[in-house]
Amino acid sequence: MPATDTTETENQESGAEKTPAAETLASALTELQALLGKRCSLAEAVRSTHGKGESWHPLQAPDAVCFAESTQEVAAIVTICARYRIPVIPYGSGTCIEGQLQAVHGGISIDLSAMNAILAVHSDDMDCRVQAGVTRKQLNSHLRDTGLFFPIDPGADATIGGMAATRASGTNAVRYGTMRENVLSLTYVDASGAIVQTGTRARKSSAGYDLTHLLVGSEGTLGVITEIGLRLHGQPEAVLAAVADFPSVDAAVQTVIETVQLGIPMARIELVDSTSIRAINAYSHTDYPERDTLFLEFHGTDASVEEQVSTFRELAVAQGSERFEQARFEEERSRLWQARHDAYYAIMAAHPGKEGMSTDVCVPISSLAIIINWMREVIVESPFESEVLGHVGDGNFHMIFCITPGSETELAAANQLNEQLVHRAIELGGTCTGEHGIGLGKLKYLRREHGDAAVDTMQSIKRALDPNNLMNPGKTVAV
Amino acid sequence: MPATDTTETENQESGAEKTPAAETLASALTELQALLGKRCSLAEAVRSTHGKGESWHPLQAPDAVCFAESTQEVAAIVTICARYRIPVIPYGSGTCIEGQLQAVHGGISIDLSAMNAILAVHSDDMDCRVQAGVTRKQLNSHLRDTGLFFPIDPGADATIGGMAATRASGTNAVRYGTMRENVLSLTYVDASGAIVQTGTRARKSSAGYDLTHLLVGSEGTLGVITEIGLRLHGQPEAVLAAVADFPSVDAAVQTVIETVQLGIPMARIELVDSTSIRAINAYSHTDYPERDTLFLEFHGTDASVEEQVSTFRELAVAQGSERFEQARFEEERSRLWQARHDAYYAIMAAHPGKEGMSTDVCVPISSLAIIINWMREVIVESPFESEVLGHVGDGNFHMIFCITPGSETELAAANQLNEQLVHRAIELGGTCTGEHGIGLGKLKYLRREHGDAAVDTMQSIKRALDPNNLMNPGKTVAV
């Protein structure tokens, strides 16, 4: 493992690019406005909604926002920007949380939300092709009558392009995988403005380098994703949601380990700790026992769901679980999951006036209880409260630090705690980010996690594919 | 899609590198022998077993074979080769079939078969870490008592390193995925001799570029894979193998489409056409009806396997399937699958004195019957016989052309037929290779499949990570 001083590295790596000079920018904007008319906006209000996601990272507005309507238009925009050496930052729905949208060197935000056509659904092949601005809820509404669905659910109604760019996942990943497993092919515009097609509609291929996976998770730093080919899944015949409480995080996690080992194909397994349950009860008017709790979902045929539930309950009871509340009909299930999805808002409501900072480490599941318990001890001393939400089937969990806005002391303490957590996760064989991405927020952990040789390799790729460092510069691998 | 003349491209691209001069090679060999002693072999017999896989591609022996025993030793070998600009070609078990091993510019074969330690098995996390020379059968023997198994089964007892390098798959991929889905992390030695770690033990991560997936399928052209972290799966409680016959390929494929859409988690679905069944019956002393046939395997709990089989049979009968022979016990199942695994040998035995050339296209499953039927018509005119074997759940199938060794006419006709097949597969949204890889054999199809922009991007990556073109030069993306 490398001995690099991460702070130094971060400064060094993100300072490589210069913000464009005013006259260069003005010439580029003249061309962009000639291309797009009013769809190239310089308005302050538009720019400031495009320079920030949903997190504590401060706004850094782009110089202009271009609303693209086709891949060809994105290519034309990038070509102009490349000629003037103006940075380009893709924008979907603005729900990212690691500073992926901040225009650290100025430049143009390309808003893809108007590219929201569902281009094809191939039912027999269980795949589809969508433009980058399609949101996951829009896609699932469209699919409702096909017997198919798109399972990745990061909570927010993010765009598919944004989800591909950040390698998003969420509550369903334990069964259906993340964007890594569900993106079959891509169209993207590279740093020169060329349109690149990756992958095919074949389910598997050994033909050349896997550019699809290279682009998934690249956060706009290698190109602007404009179309995505997705794997779809059959809507399960039966769905059963449930809530089970446990005497401890260890007992809950042990149950999950045994469940997964027995090959029970759980669709969702979410951990909500006892203090978060209290917040949920207050916010969602529920009455769950204030114990460490698993929210669960089982998919399958009627018979297999019954069998899954029965096996799960046996394992849970052996670990001291008492209550098992189940919801079979869609309305009940929605209510149950709404409570889980609202957990973040519930936590914030329980701490009025505070701002949330979410951690995102992911560890091998055998280490999950270890790291959660360790962290709970560490944070006893912290100047703010914090709660735990976890995608426990994957070993991914979020601690929500409830900090006072504007308090530099608390922000510093939160960053320091997050750093301790990340270091511990990496020691345990895990990653600093299970699903939120690197953006700006986790840049300083990249070398510790991957080592110098791997990060140098990533940077070589970035330099080869974006020699002028124009694609979302300063993020992800920060050359 | 590009209008490039593929023949011209191929010649142009694979001619970039020069074979090292004799004195340079001699100096490098002196250093390699000092490092490895007898484990650096110049023997003709050793060299010639390392310059060819299991296919019709003619032998091109390396200048020497180095038998490595550790990642550090591989790094030392590559460092010496890099200094003298000598090509390096990794070797596992020699079972590749697209010319991945041929030393087209001479150089050193690094034989990794002695690196066969299973480094760790983490039962709770259902993952393991192995050296590149571990074979899949060795790994599964080791796992037997853990309740876990490694599902990827390309037929041959290939090494895990070789399987990762070629993005291999096989009969289980429909349920368990390919090497793409099952490699969690890697250690590899890059073109400079540096040791690179990719990925972590976390099940998911959004931390930077996905180097793991970039290396998987890169066929030794970006580095020498020395260790692999693998996802493992729980041994199913119940396994049932079966054989079902159908009146036509269409009926068999339609059954498979419906099966997959209903979410039946089939473990294997293999198509063997009627003429191949005749060959199998003769070779394996079986008496399957000479009809287009599916070989199947169901995994799950006792109850879920029963449910899967019952649903499958309903669908099959509706498509005109008559016979359904099932095998529950391990010995019967092995016999049944041995017949399928021996299909290639059965086909060759049915055509004594002939040599097999296997195609490998993969198409969206809805196009599978279309392309198989189209190809059956096209080959009527061919000067040799051919048979069909397919991983039908994935849309991947092999036509085995039975050609006369040494007949340039037949080889040319086979290559031309393969080209027609590949072009048709690409038109249908598919790939020229589902699992065998590009190597030398399919280089000429890469631009047609991916387009110039994507192949140029792959070549930029190759140049950035291997500026002197020393890692298995002339293969895969052939800069």
Q: Do B166 and A206 touch (CB under 8 A)?
A: yes
Out of A209, A222, A307, name the one closest to residue B303 (CB).
A307
Q: How confident is the model at residue A170 (pLDDT cuts 50, 70, 90)?
A: confident
Q: Strand runs (DSSP E) across B114-237, as ranges?
A: 118-122, 127-131, 148-149, 183-189, 195-198, 224-231, 233-234
**Cβ proximity of A259 and A269 under 8 Å:** yes
Strand pairing category for A224-231 and A127-131: antiparallel
Do residues A240 and A305 make contact, with C-beta atoms less than 8 angstroms apart? Answer: yes
3-state DSSP call for residue B122?
Answer: strand
Q: Which of A206, A358, A367, A460 to mutate to test the interface with B (most CBs of B within 10 A)?
A: A206
- The H or E element that residue B408 is part of is helix B408-427
Stretch A358-374: mean pLDDT, rounded? 94
Cα–Cα distance, A228 to B130 (Å, whole number): 34
A263 with B236: Cβ contact below 8 A:
yes
CA distance B19 to chain A (A): 24
Q: Cα distance from B450 to chain A (closest Cα, Å)?
A: 7
DSSP B389: E
Ordered strands of the B268-272 beta sheet: B324-327, B238-246, B292-300, B268-272, B385-391, B396-403, B355-358
Query: What whole-number distance in Å separates Cα of residue B431 and Cα of residue B362?
Result: 5
A-proximal residues of B, 38-97, CB under 8 Å: none
Q: Which residues of B touch A198 (CB under 8 A)?
A: 450, 454
User: Across the interface, which of B207, B222, B365 has its CB nearest the CB of A446?
Assistant: B207
ipTM of this complex prediction, to 2 decimal places: 0.94
Contact between B206 and A167 using a beta-carbon 8 Å cutoff: yes
More confident residue, B264 or B178: B178
pLDDT in tens, B11-23: 344 444 577 888 9
Q: B141 falls in which pLDDT band (50, 70, 90)?
A: very high
Give the closest of A197, A204, A301 to B435, CB-based: A204
Q: Which two tokens stand for residue A222?
A: 């290698």
- Determine contact, residues B440/B102, Cβ cutoff 8 Å: yes
User: Locate tokens 């926002």: which residue?
Assistant: A65
Q: Give the amino acid at B212.
A: T
Of A82-86, B393-397, B457-461, least confident by mean pLDDT is B393-397
Q: Which residues of A touch B435 (CB under 8 A)?
A: 204, 206
Supply the DSSP string of B214-247, one letter for each residue: HHTT-TTSS-EEEEEEEE-EEPPSEEEEEEEEES
User: What is residue B5's predicted lDDT score, i.e. its pLDDT?
Assistant: 38
Contacts of B238 in chain A (CB under 8 A): none
Q: Is residue B401 within a helix (H) or strand (E), and if so which, with residue range? A: strand B396-403
Q: Which residues contact B266 (CB under 8 A, 6 or more apart)?
A: B174, B175, B259, B260, B296, B297, B298, B308, B312, B393
Segments in B15-98 forming alpha helices (H): 22-36, 44-49, 71-84
State chain B's mean pLDDT as an integer: 93
Q: Is A120 on the interface with B (CB under 8 A)?
A: no
B428: its two tokens: 């249908």
> Which of A122, A209, A262, A311 best tests the B interface by mutation, with the highest count of B CBs <10 A?
A209
Closest residue in B to A475 (Cα–Cα): B208
* A427 part of contact set with chain B, CB < 8 Å: no
Q: Which residues of A touch B213 (CB under 8 A)?
A: 180, 210, 213-214
**Which helix (H) or strand (E) element contains residue B374?**
helix B368-378
Q: Which residues of B are less than 8 Å from A204 in CB distance?
A: 167, 169, 173, 178, 180, 362, 394, 396, 431, 434-435
The dihedral through the CA atoms of A254, A259, A263, A268 has a sign that is: negative
How many beta-carbon pairs below 8 A join chains A and B? 301
**pLDDT at position A17, please?**
54
CB contact under 8 A, A432 and B167: no
Identity of the residue in B196, B209, B461 whose CB atom sits nearest the CB atom of A209: B461
Contact call for B454 and A198, based on CB within 8 A: yes
Average pLDDT over residues A63-90: 98
Residue B290, SS3 per DSSP? coil
Instruction: Name, in order, each residue with C-beta under 8 angstroms of A108's C-beta and a sequence gap of 6 or more.
Output: A28, A32, A62, A63, A64, A65, A66, A77, A81, A86, A87, A88, A89
Band of the pLDDT at A412, cuts 50, 70, 90? Answer: very high
% of chain A surpassing 90 pLDDT:
82
Contacts of A146 (CB under 8 A, 6+ apart): A121, A123
In the predicted model, what is the mean pLDDT of residues A459-469? 98
Q: How many angstroms separate the CA atoms of B314 and B360, rounded?
A: 31
Q: Give the model's pLDDT for residue A6.
A: 39
Q: How many angstroms separate the CA atoms of A184 and A186, rounded?
A: 7
The closest alpha carbon to B230, from B168, B171, B174, belongs to: B168
What chain A residue is nearest to B476 in terms of C-alpha separation?
A: A208
B330 Cβ under 8 Å from any chain A Cβ: no
Q: Which residues pair with A233 in a beta bridge?
A: A149
- So what's the pLDDT on residue B17? 55
Of the candidates B66, B63, B61, B62, the one whose C-alpha atom is nearest the C-alpha of residue B32 is B66
Instruction: Decide if B472 contacts B135 (C-beta within 8 A).
Output: no
Q: Is B118 helix (H, G, I), strand (E, B) or coil?
A: strand
What's the pLDDT score for residue B260?
84
pLDDT in tens, A282-339: 999 999 999 999 999 999 989 999 999 999 999 999 999 999 999 999 899 988 888 8
Query: Which positions 385-424 of A are in contact with B (Cβ < 8 Å)?
Result: 394-396
> CB–CB of A159/A133 below 8 Å?
yes
- Predicted pLDDT at A479: 85
Do residues B160 and B188 touch, judged by C-beta distance below 8 A? no
Percent of chain B with pLDDT over 90: 82
Partner residue opposite A263 with nearest CB, options B200, B234, B477: B234
How much is the pLDDT for A4?
A: 39
For residues B393 and A94, what is the distance between their CA atoms, to the nearest angstrom? 38
Tokens 């079986």, located at residue: B286
Residues 437-456 on B with a CB inside 8 Å of A are 437-438, 442, 445-446, 449-451, 453-455
Q: Does B220 touch chain A if contact means CB atoms closer than 8 Å?
A: no
pLDDT at B70: 98
CA A414 to CA B299: how far, in whole Å? 47
- CB contact under 8 Å between B263 and A457, yes or no, is no
**Substitution target from A10, A100, A204, A463 for chain B, most B beta carbons within 10 A:** A204
pLDDT mean over A347-353: 92
Contacts of B360 (CB under 8 A, 6+ apart): A206, B396, B398, B432, B433, B434, B435, B436, B442
